[in-house]
Chain A
Amino acid sequence: MRYGTLGSACAALIRRDLLLTWRRRGDALNPALFALMVVALFPLALGPEPNQLMQIAAGIVFVAILLASLLALDALFRSDYEDGTLEQIVLSPHPLPVLLACRIGAHWLTTAVPLILVAPLLAEMLHLPSTVMPVLMLALAIATPLLSLLGAVCVALTVGMRRSGMLLALLVLPLYVPVLIFAAGACNAAQAGLPFLAPLLLLGAGLALALVLVPLACAAALRISIS
């Protein structure tokens, strides 16, 4: 008789999610393609003036990535809920918040990392000065896990409802606003030659807080959703 350890459970969960993404690797590119299209709309609407686009480049990149990660959120717990796997995960003998943290981590790896990788291309399309690029990448590295975590709470709350897509967006977007302000703010400050460290540190503080609290909140919300 061998009971599963927490380590083996987390490893099994992450391996499963990566395998599922690999089986549907075409779908995994969709958020990045979506962000690419949103960014491509702006030069079409505003005209291809490099000076004009340069001014708003960082903001547009963040809005595009924020919308793309919003669209990817529904995949977080929905399929597990619909096929009954979520019940099995809740019934496992391990602390649910730890398992959910792994689930969210795997979601970040499979949806946000492609977005981070495509971000330099997005910035280049909008003529973002290359000196701002490192700040943009750093801000994305801190902001995208925070977006995944904040979104996860809202998904956990709405997963039991049918057709919750619009409700999910209405719940999630207000929570994303501070992330957008600080992340885009850091890039704008760097672009203007001002100190940009403070907004990044605030983002980091938010991420630390969310890493601790979100798995607990998700566990509570999911228990309510499946009851």
Chain B
Amino acid sequence: MHSQATADPVPLLSARALAFSRNEEPIFGPIDFSLHAGEVVLIEGDNGSGKTTLLKVLSGLLLPSSGTIELHGEALTMSRLSQQVALMGHLPGLKADLTALENLEFSIGVFGLRAGNTPMLALASLGLQGYEHVAVRLLSAGQKKRVALARLLLVPAALWLLDEPYANLDKEGIDLVNRLLEAHARRGGAALITSHGAYAFTSGSPRRLPLRPAA
């Protein structure tokens, strides 16, 4: 990994004329944007404007109908994208019968581990001390969200795609997400987040990317 200064002229992620249609019906786009290391961008749009779909396209779960996605200036392939990108969707992606720690260990096995972090440290930094060995089934929706956020801290991806990261979180949890995003940006990472409420991102003013339903 080369170090990424905030002034890096090559964007971490850039999309050109990106559009997605499902069954001939346009969902979003075409849109153009770029995301540099150290940036947090808020995707704004009404329900049904394709925010979630955009994140799925950028993560590689869906193939765009047209347009290109470049990562560090190179066209993406499945394997290149996945090491650089972490997606947190509506579903937490946790097994209910496993403990928080076991879920994180599974993620590390599949995605790898960021230098200088451990599952215990990540859970502690999200305020889940004492819940490491509790089955996820017994956690509240907000606590599950925190476990999913702990996974982001552990995997080596530089680009975070977060779908509604503030949902189910209390005031304290929202502040926590903001602190995580700021720390991630300072480390040279970047994040694209969707949210209904701009109220959520209290500190600073993130760049906004408006998304309208395709005509």
Contacts and interface: CB of A to CB of B under 8 A. Distances in A.
Contact of A2 (B85, B91, B97, B113): B113
A4 B110 contact: yes
A84 B93 contact: yes
A162 interface: no
A123 B106 CA distance: 40
B97 to A, nearest CB: 4
Interface stretch (B54-62, B126-134, B190-198, B206-214): B54-62
A19 B102 contact: yes
A90 B87 CA distance: 11
Contacts of A79: 95
Nearest to B108: A4
B83 A3 contact: yes
Contacts of B106: 12-13, 15-16
Interface in A1-60: 1-4, 8-9, 11-13, 15-16, 19-20, 23-24
B79 to A, nearest CB: 5
B96 interface: yes
A4 B107 CA distance: 9
B109 A23 contact: no
B98 A12 contact: no
Interface string B110-144: 11111100000000000000000001000000000
A131 interface: no
B87 A83 contact: no
Interface string B37-66: 000000000000000000010011110000
Contacts of B107: 88
Contact of B61 (A19, A20, A227): A227
A99 B79 CA distance: 14
Interface residues of A, number: 31
A217 interface: no
B60 A91 contact: yes
A73 B166 CA distance: 36
Find the residue from A11, A16, A91, A94 having the highest chain B CB count within 10 A.
A91
Contact of A91 (B1, B82, B96, B114): B82
B90 interface: yes
A83 B96 contact: yes
A83 B93 contact: yes
A20 B95 contact: yes
Given A2-B112, A2-B156, A92-B111, A83 B82 contact: no
Nearest to B53: A227
B89 interface: yes
Contacts of A84: 89-94
A117 interface: no
A13 B89 contact: no
B80 to A, nearest CB: 8
Interface string A108-152: 000000000000000000000000000000000000000000000
Given A13-B109, A24-B97, A84-B94, 8 more contacts: A2-B114, A3-B156, A4-B111, A16-B102, A19-B98, A23-B97, A83-B93, A85-B95
14 contacts: A1-B114, A1-B156, A2-B115, A4-B108, A4-B112, A4-B113, A8-B110, A9-B110, A20-B97, A23-B98, A87-B61, A91-B61, A91-B82, A94-B110
